Amino acid sequence: MSELKRLLLAQIGYTEFATRRLLEACSRLTPEQLDREAGASHSSILRTLRHIHDGDRVWLERCLETEVWTLPQGPAPEPSFEFLVQSWPGIWRGYRQWLEGATDADLALECSTLLPSDSKLCGPRWQVVLHSVNHATLHRGQIITMLRGLGLQPPNVDLIGYYVTR
């Protein structure tokens, strides 16, 4: 297995670990706490979780597609917290299955994505995977802050925490 593939699989493992820990912590919240306005980029814990989930889902679709692809437009889906908990493992499994079967050439394949602004984003698929993980990491950090704002002790979702548990 190439070092690049090993790195990408570890990053997907990390994002799964961190998101699972966050979902577990959030499962103890009331519906009101989940959707409370918190002044963050997506306003509430639930809306931020939806945004992370939608990004993970959309960027996986992008990795699976080899043709020019258009980033979805319009409002994102608004699934329930329970749906997110049930759906996410399939997305992580999809990333792992795709990566395990991908060659280095597949990972390096340049892909073009049309953005809502009609500009085109081009880059290798391995960058899409890293972007997806980085995007989720950014927003998990915002949720950590929202949990602290509720007076709760958030879980450790740092990368080093993942390495320690392996």
The per-residue pLDDT for range 72-125, each reduced to its tens digit, is 777 878 999 999 999 999 999 999 999 999 999 999 999 888 888 888 888 999
82 contacts: CB under 8 Å, gap ≥ 6: none
Residues 153, 44: Cα–Cα separation, whole Å: 17
Give 53's pLDDT tier (boundaries 50, 70, 90).
Answer: very high
Structural domains in the chain, CATH included, are 3-165 (1.20.120.450)
Task: Write down the pTM of the prediction.
Answer: 0.93
Average pLDDT, stretch 146-166?
A: 95
Average pLDDT, stretch 41-59?
A: 95
Q: For position 77, what pLDDT does the model report?
A: 82
Query: Which one has a higher pLDDT value, 65 or 27?
Result: 27
Q: For position 43, what pLDDT does the model report?
A: 94
CA end-to-end span of the chain = 19
The per-residue pLDDT for range 135-154, each reduced to its tens digit, is 999 999 999 999 999 999 99
Q: For position 40, what pLDDT does the model report?
A: 85
